Amino acid sequence: MNTTIRELEPKALWNNFADLNAVPRGSKKEEKVIQFMVDFGNKLGLETLVDPIQNVIIKKPATPGMENRKTVVLQSHLDMVWQKNNDTDFDFETEGIKMYIDGDWVTADGTTLGADNGLGVAAIMSILASNNIPHPPIEALFTIDEETGMTGAQGLQGGYLEGEILLNLDTEDDEEIDMGCAGGIDVTATGSYVEESILDNTITMRLTVKGLNGGHSGMDIHKGLGNANKIMNRVLYETFDFDINIASINGGSLRNAIPRESNVVLVVPKAKKEAFENKVEEISTTIKKEFATVDGNLEILLDTCDITATKTMNTHSQINLIKAIYAAHNGVYRMSPDIEGLTETSNNLAKVSVADGQIKIECLTRSAVESSKMDLAQALRSCFELASYEVEFAGSYPGWQPNPKSPILGVLSTIYSDMFDKKPNVVACHAGLECGILGTNYPEMDMISFGPTIQGAHSPDERANIKSTQKFWKYLLEILKNIPAKA
């Protein structure tokens, strides 16, 4: 880590972020960071507890003179997305994130940074540890597993929190205040196929799609970015006539990340190798032109494989797979008719795995409207069932219904206008924030979300803006000073 990160202002926040990023904290692998937070709370002498689902709650009394203000829940999630470039040698389970300063930004060396949602966590830690920041009674809620199912938020039971206001510190544009978000559901298709022995006079080759930007499957889905699984499938579809046989497919890594890379091992008749190579080059040129503006570093590579395949998919299963993926919707499904510029419903065709006779296709479907979410999920089910795959829905979570009349929204909007001489952008987002889920057990809690500017979340290009983080910190402190009194 570049030690000068610890010298950035505000020092308390950046030092807590550096300490946090030294602890492995991938989704569903949060044991170490949970203990880290428990130790942090206990060291401060604050009431610290872990609920049955393993969320951490730390409570801090109000500073003198603010005891009569409404209790505020400060909420962020502990887990981060683990993504790295293929050529980056890094073990997320044992190593801390290697951060450095790049101009006006903090980023990581070939991996995700963890600013989503580590900067929110670090800000809350800084308030808990402070002795000179005015604030009302605080309940710090650190949830687990936000990125792969929101199981922490879903498992939080009523009765643990008394706060009347919740500040979720998990958005990625410092000019925005979020008052709503999308819900989501995991759609998974599985199938099997009969493996066949390869024919004589064939050659094993590897087809690779890489160099895409990827990104957050909610916040970035409207940008028209390339999806490695769809691009790879298009190349395979265009080369049916060359009698290729697929040995394996490995595309994408996480449901909530737009897939950046895909690799296919296939077998090609030696007599058709040159014609196949020419066709791949032709279609690759076409695709790269289409994505030149948004994904200028896209590469589609074909080379002789360093392994020799011994088994491949049978032809019927291969045709079914490629046509099913081609037909499966990816990207924006519907824009909101009520909020200009908001993606209402989308799907991310996130992962495709084919090997050893087994097929698995994983999607994340999002929508601000429950009926629209299920409409798209059923469309995907129908597509995959036509290919004779089993389809499972799992991990469904609700959206967060926007409330333009929210009292805390009014407080934040006024403070923002006074501090920065302009109105904030009050929005709903297409990402999955935890507010809607938390509201099921705390329906009277007034919720709002905001945060510093982060770009490239869920990808190795993730970076956090330094000046924006400073702005976010000052804004947060002013909000805490202006929390209304209890009724």
Handedness of CA 227, 230, 232, 235 (dihedral sign): negative
Residue 244's SS3 state is coil
Distance between CA 21 and CA 4 in Å, rounded? 15
Could you tell me the strand order of the sheet in which 165-168 lies? 47-50, 56-60, 138-143, 72-77, 165-168, 446-449, 176-178, 425-427
Residues marked as catalytic: 79, 146
Distance between CA 47 and CA 45 in Å, rounded? 7
456 backbone φψ class: left, alpha, beta (φ>0; ψ -120 to 50)? left
Handedness of CA 87, 92, 98, 101 (dihedral sign): positive
Peptide bond preceding 117 in cis form (omega within 30 of 0)? yes
Cβ atoms 447, 438 nearer than 8 A: yes
Cβ atoms 18, 5 nearer than 8 A: yes
Whole-angstrom CA distances from 256 to 80, 379, 395, 432 are 11, 20, 13, 10
Which segments within 21-103 are labelled E, that is strand? 47-50, 56-60, 72-77, 99-102
Distance between CA 308 and CA 5 in Å, rounded? 47
Whole-angstrom CA distances from 88 to 5, 84, 112, 450 are 22, 6, 11, 32
Cβ atoms 96, 21 nearer than 8 A: yes
Q: Where are the alpha helices (DSSP H) in 291-434?
A: 315-327, 370-386, 407-420
